[in-house]
Structure 1
Amino acid sequence: MPRASEIAKHLNVDLTGEDLTINEARSVGTACAGSVVFLGKKVPEAIARLNAVRDLLCVTTAELAQDLICPTVIHRSPRYAFCLVLQKFFSPEVKPGIHETACVAPDAVIGENVSIGPGCVVGSKAKIGSGTQIHSNVVVADGAVIGRECVIKSNTTIGEEGFGFARDENGRPVHFPHLGGVRLGDRVVIGANSTVVRAA
C-alpha cells in the first residue's frame, strides 16, 4: 500500500501533514482512517466528516485545504488528480497476453502489449492497436479496427452486422446487408454488454 508521500510524488505536488500509509480509496461519504479521498467543492458536511476522521489523506484545492485538519495534497483539479491516484495505486494490473481460451484469427493484427481475455473471438483481418485491453467474452468481428490504448469491457461485440431491412413489393421485410466497417480511434472505452455495429 502506498504512503501519502508516494501519492504526492506521483501527482508532482507536496504533502501537507503526516505521511500516512494509505490502504484504500473511498468517497467522502464513506471516508475512514487510512483512506484517500478527494474534495472538490466546499460542502460543510463533507469537511466536518473528514475532520472527524482525521487520519486520512484528502486530495483537494488550496482553498479547501484551509478548512481541513487531515493530511492533504493540493491540486487545482482534485477529481482529475484522484483519477490518477486510482489508476496508479488502486486499479488491478492487467497483464498483456492472449488468454488460452480466446480464439484469434491467424491473419488478425495484434499490437504490442495487448491483453485479450478469456472467451474472446477476434476475426479475420481485425486489427487491435498496442496497449489495448479486451476483457472477457468480447467479439471483434472480421475486419474491425480498434485503436491504441482502448478498453473494451466484457460481453461486447464490435463490428458485427447491424439490424436493417428493406421491403419487397408485397411489404415483406428483406434483410439489408451491412457491408461497411467499424473503426475505433485511440483511447476509446466501450462499456460492458455493448454492441458497435458496422455501417450499411
Structure 2
Amino acid sequence: MLFHYHFWTPYVEETEKFYIENGFRVSQRLGKHYGEFKLFNPPLIWDDFREKNVIFRIIEVRKGAVNITFGSGKKVLFDHIGFLVTEGEISEICGNAEKMNWVVDRGDRRTFITTPYNFRIELQGNIDAIDSLNNESKIEKLKLVTKLQGLDKNLSSLFNKPIDNIISEVGDEVTIKEAVIKGLLSSNIIDPNGVRVI
C-alpha cells in the first residue's frame, strides 16, 4: 500500500503548517540543535523553538493511512516514496530489485531501494508507521516527474504486479507533481514544495 512521501525543503515550517491546515497531525519533530539531535514534538509549537536555528532531520505528519515526512534542505528535493508491505513481500521485492541491479539497503525498521530515476523507494513493514488502516484518509495516486522513461514498467517488475496508483511523466526535474489524497480538508491546492494536492 502506497502510504508515504518525503521531501527535503527550505520551507519546513510552511510545509508543516500546510498539512496541519489540511487535517494532519504532527507525530514527530527531530532536529539538530547545537550539534545534538533533540525531539521538538508536540505539545511544543514553533514559537517555542523558531529562534533556536534548529536543523530538522525529520518532521512527520500523519492522517489515517497517510504519512508525509520532510526535513531541512537548501532547496526543494524529492527523496522517496513509501509502501507498507508484509515481511514476505519485502523479501520478494528486494529480490526483484537485485535482479534489476537496483541497490537495496536493508534496515531494521525499513528498507530502501535506490532507483535509476533519482529517487528511492521505502519498504515499510511496521504498521505503526501510520495512524489507521481505515479508508477515510489514504494516498490514492501520485503523479511523478522523472528524467527517464520506463518507471511504470519497472515498478510493475519490482512489485510483480501493476502499480496503478503511480503515474509518471518525463520532465526536467524529478519530483511529485500531484498527490491525490482521500480525506483532505481542502482540494486542488499546492504545498510549499510544489506538489499539487487533490
TM-score band (shorter)?
under 0.3
Q: Which structure has the higher relative contact order (CA within 8 Å, separation 6+)?
A: 2
What TM-score, normalized to structure 2?
A: 0.25
Q: TM-score, normalised by structure 1?
A: 0.25
